[in-house]
Amino acid sequence: MYKNHLYKAALGIALLALWIAGCTGSKTGKNAIKDLKIVDKPITWDTTRKRLSLEYIHQRHGLTNVKAPLITPSMVVVHWTAIPTLAASYNTFRPSVLEGRDELQGASRLNVSTQFMVDRDGTIYRLLPETAFARHTIGLNHCAIGIENVGDGEQYKLTDAQFKANVKLIQYLHYKYPIRFVIGHMDYTRFKNHPLWKETDPNYMTEKTDPGAEWMAKLYPALEQAGVYGIARFPEAIKD
């Protein structure tokens, strides 16, 4: 009888702790949405880009049943632009049709793009509707929201203001969508044998280093500190 009472008491305390954690996480997520400032700076989202996006989904991802160039986000991919200014980065993504970059032209004429861009002062810009298809990560575009940070890993290293903005933005996206993974662009090939990987050409891959191992190593504990739980960097960290 005594042991039974102890068990019930322990169970009650555990349930209370879970309830408090849930309430705290919910409050944190709501505050992230309330306090986050996002500036809309749309790139071209015209009939050409929509048509090329749908072609990419069908031909590159092999998802022939998809009827609209939209995604259901389950992943966030963090990038750097390798371009020093917001204006130049924006102008690169703005056209619907890809210019130059022969290594990408062979796969599709759809221009590269991203849903979000973070300037060097930490200002967050939304370039596309959040669930619009964007070409930013081979094999994973169909499920990934992209965050491009203006700069690179050498001459124009990413700033502390950008880091803080990334944490807040991912916190917001995690609250709003069923995000399971947050990865750096450099790690995208780790998903090649995962069910999320959709690329019809097994040889179509490019080598990436952004946004750097140091940046991502700092990002995960910062996300946990911000109340973002239940995400993983690599597919083997989550068991279905």
Q: Provide the Cα torsion 163, 168, 170, 171; round to 10°.
A: 140
CB atoms inside a 10 Å sphere around CB 65: 6
pTM score, two decimals?
0.86
**Superfamily of chain region 37-237:** Peptidoglycan recognition protein-like (3.40.80.10)
Q: Is 70 helix (H, G, I), strand (E, B) or coil?
A: strand
Q: Record the tokens describing residue 100, joined without a space.
A: 């130059």
Extended strands (E) in the chain: 38-40, 75-80, 116-118, 124-126, 144-149, 181-184
Q: Which residues pair with 132 in a beta bridge?
A: 70
Per-residue pLDDT of the chain (240 residues; tens, 9 = 90+): 444 444 444 444 433 443 444 444 555 556 666 789 999 999 999 999 999 999 999 999 999 999 999 999 999 999 999 999 999 999 999 999 999 888 888 899 999 999 999 999 999 999 999 999 999 999 999 999 999 999 999 999 999 999 999 999 999 999 999 999 999 999 999 999 999 999 999 999 999 999 999 999 999 999 999 999 989 888 864 444
Instruction: Write down the pLDDT at residue 239.
Output: 46
Pairing of strands 38-40, 181-184: unpaired
Q: Where are the domains of the chain?
A: 1-35, 37-237
Instruction: Write down the pLDDT at residue 240.
Output: 44
Instruction: Write down the pLDDT at residue 7.
Output: 40
Instruction: Write down the pLDDT at residue 28.
Output: 56
